[in-house]
Structure 1
Amino acid sequence: MSKINHIINTPLPKSQDFDSLKAEGLAYIQQYGGKDWTNLNASDPGVTILEQVCYALTELGYCNDFSIADILTDENGKIDFESQFYLPENILTTAPVTIEDYRKYLIDGIEGVGNAVIVPHYNGGYKNYKVYLQLSETIQTNLNDKTYCISAHQYLNKCRNLCELFDEPQLLTPKTYLLSGTIEIKNGKDVQEVITTLQHLIREYIFPDVAPIGYNQLVNEGVETDTILNGPLLQRGWIPTAILGDKKDSLKAFEISALLNKISAVETVSNITFTAEGETYSQIQCKTEEILTIAINESVNNGSLQFYCKGRKVNLNTIQTPEKLHLPDDNILMGASVEKQTELPKGRYRDINSYYSIQNTFPDIYKIGPNALDNDSDSFKVAQSRQLKGYLTLFDQVIANQFSQLANVGNLFSFKNSLSGIPSQREEYYAVQDAQEKANPAYPVPYNCFSPTYYYQALYDVPHIKPLLKNNNVFDFDNAGSSQREKEVKSWQAYKNDPYNSYIWGLMQLMENEDVNLQRRNSLLDHLLARHGESPELMDAYIDGTVISGNSIKDKVIIKSLYLQNYSLLSYNRYKSYNTVAANKVSGIIPKEVPADFEEQILKGYSKDFIFNSNALDWAEKLSSRDFINYTGIELKINLLFGLKLLYRDFIANTKDEKSATNRLAFWLIKQRKGLIFLEMPLLLKELRFNIVISQNPESGSHYKTKEEVGFATVTTVENYETTIHQNHDNLSLQLDGNAIDLEAVSIDNADAKNFKSLGNSSYYFSVYTSGGTAVYNTERYANLILLFLPGFIPVLNGNDFKSRLTLFLENTLPLQCAHSTCLLDTEKLTDLIEQFSNYHNALLFNNKNLKSTKQSAENLFRFINNLNPLGDGW
């Protein structure tokens, strides 16, 4: 198809069609002008004015037709993607959630892992994953098996989701069978090639090795973008779910025959079977933790796979087997090419904001252009000219503002709140400021307002505009003995440079109505939230009551803007827990007094001003990837949406006692834990050991306990499965789901009967104790439980409004399998909790000799929680 190299006469859009705009204007004149305006010919001055306005509107229409990339491109030829868009690879991806996600994550992140099997199982009610690794066929490293497993375990912990735990990975155990049968090949010299190819094909058929692929390669293959980016953000490319494959735990002989028939060097195949330990099989199987491995003439002398060429047996003893088999090129999986990311659009800078006044294009007879008035013009003609210019300047201002509105579409739909409705003048003002002036701006900050949604510009370039502007002569003074012309030039320049001159100040007051701006900005942010899959109604419900500025609608705008700025990380890590391997140590020492610079430490120097400082708060609340190593995504959302930094800062400032216990605890919470202590019970339970105690008469009878301590999974089995007591003389055993656990007599004085429950249909009762002796009543309620601890001494947190909003947030944000409970603590209990939590947290991460053991720290924290009874009766 040849390119079009000529002009096609197609109708212009109405916004660019001069004749259409003029005709519509004349129709309005006839409709509303009545009999007063009869001359509608080109000679009429009114028609001339209409024509000039129409020409200006066609330029505006032309600019409106620019591509969005052009409109957003700045004078440096760049688009500010960071503030306006999230790249597809950052917004469509998510931290691993599904089993397929975790498999991709391991294959990409642990060099040498070709594929993986991940099996979920429930350990005492919470989800554990068993992980089995397959090393790549082409691996050439010297690492031992244990090294791969440890590396994979640490890597998985980086992306562990809430209430989910990983067992340490294991390598798949080979279950080997020898291949038997007869293969006729076309050329005897091809036998080694056939063996090599067959080994590769069988391995790929049973469980394929997977390698990341380049983005553009996948696009060229017809894979949709949302399919490519469905899953975690990988380091070396992309892995579509379709190529992961499933491990085959069953294999039939005819399947191997089909693979052999794919090899071009093979003529015929017959009598294919599998042998192992002298037995012959037509079908073989393996367990989940095993992988079928097919040996092909592992021992040449004993091998039962026979090769023939033209009816004669090929002597394998004469064929040299290479140390490393080389795979045929046409069977190698493509590796990741360099283009991991999507290609960004590019635009052309259009300078839309620059406006050329309609007064420049009038015929000279109208005396309003740049050279229309002579220096010796009489005052009457000057008055006529200025009267017409005043009339036309209104049109100029409206049209110029429309150009500014279009030029600032990027600011209008930005995640960040704008600083000024007149950014062009603001940039010009600061461009001529020296460092001292920039550091100490005049009061108030020039051109600043909070989050404008209407943009405009000054008309200083309109010919001879100065006499029409209010108070234009305030700088008409000069003590240097300059000429009159020099005085006029300096006066005019000073007026334009004054950010508070009467014209620009009046224009700002006319254009900026804060109530209107806030409503419009809130609607725009709701649109952006919805575009990113967030419900504006739910967001309003969460934040309605969070105080930042004191104006409720402004607070919504501030929080929604902050949320969108951090949305890429918050969305990606929405269900992720903190990293139990790499998180920072928590200081368990509560400061003796709140430091004098507490505001600087909490909010990085942000302080309230009469014009809200959006940039400062944006910086103070900006999240980093490191935050999601130290905290769960839920904690960070709560801190942001409920304004905990400002809330705690204001509480400390209003109390005005740097040594008070409440202030010191509030400061510790916001500095060390983002305002709350967030605890996953499954993670804590994993570190504990338990004893099961049984008795026929808990208060006065004999008691028996398990001889060996058991894990939480065993404890929950007592409550959830058929459980019986087996007695053999004086020995008792507990039959749990088909497994026997031996019991021994134990002395328990004054046992509390309320801690015992009926044991199935038997005459026995049972209770559960931790290894440290803490009695546990209802173990089932621990599973998948998340506890949040907040300071009850801060009035806002004690209010029903905050509690209901937080509950609504947790119910709509936590994974479905997670239960939750929020506890408000007084100073004494919060102090104790901080000590126990810090010891446990640090022992879990570091477990060195300077800290209590993980087990003891977990026991102490569990005992504290158990005594606290956060769930009320039945806990």
Structure 2
Amino acid sequence: MPTLKNSITINRDVSTENDLDFDYLRRIGIQHIASMGGGLWTDYNEHDPGITILEMLSYAITDLGNRASLSIADLLTGPEGSTSISKQFYTAEQILPNRALTALDYRKLFLDIEGVRNCWIIPYDVKVYANCKDGSLAYNPELFPNILPEDLGEFNLKGLNRILVDFDVEDDDPQRQQKIDAIKLLIKTKYHANRNLCEDLVKIDEVEEQPVSICVQVGLENEADEDEVNARILLAIEGYLSPRVRFYSLKQMLEKGYRMDEVFEGPLLDHGFIDTAELREAGLRKEVRLSDIINIIMDIPGVKQVMEISIGNCSGSNNPDTWLICIDPNKRPRLCDQSVFNYKKEQLPVRVNEKRSEEIYQELKAEEDATDDQAALNRFPEIPSGESLDTGWYTTIQNDFPDTYGIGQEGLVSSADTVRRSKAKQLKAYLLFFDQILASYFSHLENAKKLLSINSDLSNTYFTQAVSDISGFTDLVNNYPQNDNTLLSEQLFEGLADDVARRNELLDHLLARFAENFSKYAFVMKELYGSFTSEMILKSKELFLKEYVTLSSERGLGFNYYHQPVSELWDTGNVSGVEKRVARLSGIKNYFRRNLSESFIEVYEQSPGVFKWRIRNASATVILSAENTYTSYKKAINNLYFAVLQLIESSEEKIEDAFQAGVVANQIIDNIQVKVSGSGNFYFAVIDPELPDTDPNYTVAKQLIYFPDAAQMEASLLETIRFMKYDLTEEGMFMVEHILLRPDSNEPDTPTYYFMPICADDCKESCCGIDPYSFRVSIVLPGYTQRFSDIHFRNFMEELIREELPSHILAKICWIGSRKGEVPDDDNQMMEFERLYKQYLIAKSPMDPFFPEDETRDFISILTKLHTIFPTGKLHNCDAEEEEQTDDIILGRTKLGTL
């Protein structure tokens, strides 16, 4: 089988530098002239005016190419007071780190806390028993009396963690326990702020010690300082038994051979960087080898030989034949008081001054601490600073022509006749075309910093500038706005510039740099919206890029429930990273955890069988209402969606221009009709321009708020359009992590009704298993909104959710509920779910252990009863006369989503 030996890469340097080669540009230009006009023009010598023009253009292109070749820092630096480079692009410390994800990441996070010498995060084992006869769970199998062995199942909960800490607190410190408790609280707080999705912390323990004794006699060099050698040996052995993890500066990490992205891998720390390879080696030691101890001692300066050595378990005398001591799981070895270190010089015993050796030992430890402190001072790379060089500056090429042409600043001699002056003017007008093209290119180069910026709020993507230093310019053109480059751009690029489409392409480029794309979202949106689709997608991409630091680094993060105020539990952005990413990738405007049942939209039954709708703004004012009545809820809601679409597709620019020119009664502006009441007050209606104005459905909706003048109505109209575009939303999602619903494992006799129910059939051969907690989530979405009631968008959302969830997490997706007021509150699953979920979160947050019994039981009850609502459809006779159908059912295919 053939294999691809060489990887396919894109060359970073794609420049040919032909734009800097004057001779090349001149030669290629002549070749083009010969291919297009060789039958008419054969003189390509330097004296020919056409060649002179070609040379002037080639020279201008080399100037443009030279500016484009400036350092990227210079190209991105604007004049003083403009946006800095750090605001245009993400810096290394913003975009490269990620929140804690792996066990090593968590260790780095906790090692960054003062007082933690080392730490380890390990699984916490909890066994759960299942009654496969009645589908119940318990920690204690004795709660299932008279159960047959074949009906008893069991499983271990996954995703629970225990943290072992080696505290850097002296054993004789009188406040040792208080300090340890304070450090544990910091660890717990930091863990929950960085908690992985579907994981939880159960315990934080001080790592247990296993005493080890070492008896050794060391031969020293004659000039060696025995006190210092003793201190260094003790420090080195201590580092071997319980490794201390060092912090490094950015410079030191780069000198160790790491790439910049490798340096910043993992969470961003306050004290510098940790070498991942060193951290991996600094695990809990499983064995102590005599050979390792010998090597450590021999590496100390001043040591000549190890004369005698033995190791033991501190339980008695050491056995000289012992070469290996096994360390119990989850314990760290410690040098005990029975250890003996003797020294000799030339066979003569040397006595160590214990006090001086201890002072040296403390000095050596202080030097290590000082090195760590120094590492924190050089954490981040400096942002390159450039020089503002005004790369967009342009002067006409006409001033570079020889004076004999008479088109420069000096012009023609006074004796030139009318014919000569006319020819010069014609040439100037001809060259103005090239001047304007070149001026536009230079302007684009100047604005590259804005086009490629993640924080750009550009409304246009084509740029030009006025060519202002041409002699006699006013004789050549009319209505040329020399002092308004924005207006000039609109005039020159009118009909050419689709700024929304071009901005979308630029954002696609920026997204591709992060391996992200919106292609699936764009495709499915075209099924729901008309001309406004591109603008909606554009806003989604802009918002995604602006929040990308959070969306990328927190993609595996769960929400922080630990000791949070109510403001961080409800009506809050304290949600999981997956929820944030799914929201931004699907165009959901608001991902806050909130009451989704409380909507801006209200569909009500005016009388039996007669429906209308209205939309309120954030202050509960009705800003749009139906013009007609409808015989069903579905027809009313479809009319509402159509009215909103007509409104947001109306051009704000056209509305502003129309009102500036002055509007009259019944004037049509896109999908808006200006209305004037009998008393002379202004209001507006939304229309369907595809219908004749005599059709009763021509007027779709109205804003029945009256204004004494057109200016106030214009402000209200624009505000309403922007509200519909950016604020009106019923969409959102809830993600429930099942592991957080488990009962407290420290209470083995917890009754079975506090556990989640299971399907008894899953005890047998089933791919689902009987564990309802480990790495499982329930995702609840409102199934009644415009997009969420469309089966195609649901399929897109379900696929997106599963793509964004970590691969080991299984999701149950439910589309539920109704708007508040549309059904009785007792029958509204969304309202009941929101009430119990909020109640559960508020009760859970301050508790330790983490199990509010009644609130959890009530919430599990509603969670297990949720049922998906599906879009209605109609199965009609294929032989019947063709009529307009919506949401048809197609045999052989299903409208049901994934359960």
Give the TM-score, by structure 1 length.
Answer: 0.70
1:347 match: secondary structure: coil
Counterpart mapping for 1:337-486 below 5 A = 337-372=376-411, 382-416=421-455, 419=458, 450-452=459-461, 454-471=462-479
Name the residue aligned to 2:332. Answer: 291
- What is the DSSP-based 3-state SS (H/G/I as helix, E as strand, rest coil) of the residue aligned with 2:159? strand
Contact 2:122 / 2:163 at 8 angstroms: preserved in 1? yes
- The Cα of 1:582 is off from its aligned counterpart by 5.7
* Corresponding residue of 1:63: 67
- Counterparts of 1:166 and 1:383 in 2: how far apart (Å)? 87
Query: Any conservation in 1 of the 2:196–2:557 contact (CA below 8 Å)?
Result: yes
Q: Select which of 5, 24, 28 maps to 2:28.
A: 24
- State whether structure 2 residue 218 is matched by structure 1 residue 183: yes
Paired amino acid for 1:681 = H
Does structure 1 residue 526 correspond to structure 2 residue 508? yes
Give secondary structure in 1 for the equivalent of 2:203: coil
Name the residue aligned to 2:364: 328
CA contact (8 A) 1:460 1:466 kept: no
CA distance in 1, matches of 2:531, 2:590: 12
What residue in structure 2 maps to residue 802 of structure 1?
793
**What SS does the aligned partner of 1:458 have?**
coil
Equivalent residue, structure 2, for 1:162: 197
How many angstroms does 1:43 deviate by?
3.4
Is the Cα contact below 8 Å between 1:530 and 1:536 reproduced in 2? Answer: no
Give, in angstroms, the shift of residue 555 of structure 1: 2.8
Report the CA distance between 1:252 and its aligned residue: 2.2
CA gap 1:650/1:52 in 2 versus in 1, 3 angstroms: farther
Structure 2: distance between partners of 1:293 and 1:646 = 54
In structure 2, relative to structure 1, the CA distance for the partners of 1:760 and 1:159 (3 Å cut) is same
Give secondary structure in 2 for the equivalent of 1:183.
strand
Alignment correspondent of 1:819: 810
Alignment of 1:34-53 (within 5 A): 34-53=38-57
Please tell me the residue identity of whatever aligns with 1:656.
Answer: I
What letter matches 1:267 in structure 2? K
Distance 1:263 1:28, change over 3 A: closer
Unaligned runs of 5+ in 2: 1-15, 127-155, 604-612, 623-636, 641-722, 819-827, 870-895
Change (3 A) 1:778 1:265: closer
The letter of the residue matching 2:121 is: I
Q: Which amino acid aligns with 1:636?
A: K
Aligned equivalents of 2:389, 2:261: Cα separation in 1: 32
- Partner AA of 1:183 in structure 2: V
Alpha-carbon distance in structure 2 between the residues aligned to 1:145 and 1:418: 50
Aligned match of 2:254 in 206, 212, 219?
Answer: 219
Secondary structure (helix, strand or coil) at the match of 1:796 reads coil
CA, structure 1 residues 189+22, in 2 after alignment: closer, same or farther (shift >3 Å)? Answer: closer
Residue 787 of structure 1 corresponds to 778
Separation in 1 of the partners of 2:769 and 2:17? 73
What is the correspondence of 1:557-706 to structure 2 with a 5 Å cutoff? 557-581=538-562, 583-586=564-567, 627=573, 630-645=574-589, 651=601, 655-656=614-615, 658=620, 675-686=732-743
Q: 1:757 to 1:385 in 2, by over 3 A?
A: closer
Secondary structure at the aligned position of 1:811 is classed as helix
What is the aligned partner in structure 2 of residue 116 from structure 1? Answer: 119
Structure 1: distance between partners of 2:32 and 2:445:
26
Q: Give the Cα separation in 2 of the matches to 1:230 and 1:589.
A: 32
When residues 199 and 633 of structure 1 are mapped into structure 2, their CA distance, relative to the original with a 3 A threshold, is: same
Deviation at 1:525, TM superposition (A): 2.8
Alignment of 1:160-309 (within 5 A): 160-186=195-221, 190-244=225-279, 245-269=282-306, 270-278=308-316, 280=318, 282=322, 283-295=324-336, 298=337, 304-309=340-345
Counterpart residue type for residue 57 of structure 1: I
Is the 1:107–1:114 Cα contact (8 Å) retained in structure 2?
A: yes
Q: Percent identity?
A: 24
Q: Which residue of 1 aligns with 2:655?
A: none
* 1:14-51 deviation line (CA, Å, top 9, x unaligned): 32333332233333333433353354343333232222
Question: Are the structure 2 counterparts of residues 111 and 353 from structure 1 closer, same or farther at C-alpha, using a change threshold of 3 Å?
Answer: same
**Secondary structure of 2:584 counterpart:** helix
One-letter amino acid of the structure 2 residue matched with residue 522 of structure 1 = N
Which position in structure 2 is the counterpart of 1:91? 95
Q: Structure 2: which amino acid aligns with 1:854? A: P
| Corresponding residue number in structure 2 for 1:556 | 537
After superposition, give the CA deviation of every residue in 1:137-192 in whole Å (9 maximum; x if it has no partner).
Answer: 88988543222222211111110010011223211111113322333344699444
* Distance (whole Å) between structure 2 residues aligned to residue 534 and residue 559 of structure 1: 13
Helix, strand or coil: the match of 2:864?
helix
Secondary structure, counterpart of 1:372 in structure 2? coil
- Equivalent position of 1:835 in the other structure: 835
The one-letter amino acid of 1:21's match is L
Asked if the contact 2:160/2:201 (under 8 Å) is kept, the reply is yes
Residue 358 of structure 1 and its aligned partner are, at CA, apart by 0.8
Aligned to 1:509: 494
Q: Give the C-alpha shift of residue 468 in structure 1.
A: 2.3
Query: How far apart, CA to CA, are the structure 1 residues paired with 2:310 and 2:542?
Result: 67
1:724-743 deviations in Å (ceiling 9; x for gaps):
xxxxxxxxxxxxxxxxxxxx
What are the Cα deviations for residues 356-399 of structure 1, in whole angstroms up to 9, with x where unaligned? Answer: 10111123332322231589987655543332211110111112
Q: Residues 671 and 152 (structure 1 numbering): CA distance in 2 closer, same or farther, change over 3 Å?
A: farther
SS at match of 2:78: coil
Q: Which residue of 1 aligns with 2:872?
A: none
Q: Which residue of 2 aligns with 1:126?
A: 158
In the alignment, the residues of structure 1 paired with residue 221 and residue 191 of structure 2 have an alpha-carbon distance, to the nearest angstrom, of 49
Shift of 1:799: 1.8
CA distance in 2, matches of 1:102, 1:712: 31
Matches of 2:433 and 2:412 in 1, distance apart? 21
1:496 paired with 2:482, answer yes
User: For the Cα contact (< 8 Å) 1:180–1:275, is it kept in 2?
Assistant: no
State the distance in 1 between where 2:495 and 2:520 align: 34
Looking at structure 2, the residues matched to 103 and 41 of structure 1 have their Cα atoms a distance apart, in angstroms, of: 75
Mapped pair 1:865 → 2:856? no
**8 Å Cα contact 1:588-1:839 kept in structure 2:** no
Q: 1-side partners of 2:360 and 2:861: how far apart?
A: 58
Task: Give the whole-Å Cα distance in 2 for the aligned partners of 1:652 and 1:645.
Answer: 19
Contact 1:405 1:455 in 2 (8 A): yes
Q: Measure, in 2, the Cα distance between the counterparts of 1:31 and 1:274.
A: 93
C-alpha distance after superposition, 1:790-847 (max 9, x if no partner) = 2233232122122111111111111112111222232422221122111111222235
Deviation at 1:355, TM superposition (A): 0.8
Amino acid at match of 1:466: T
Deviations 1:469-502 (A, max 9, x none): 2346xxxxxxxxxxxxxxxxxxxxxx5346797x
Shift of 1:688: 8.4
1:234 counterpart letter in structure 2? L
Aligned to 2:478, the other structure's residue is in SS state coil
Alpha-carbon distance in structure 1 between the residues aligned to 2:244 and 2:494: 67
| Equivalent position SS for 1:356 | coil
Aligned match of 1:594: none
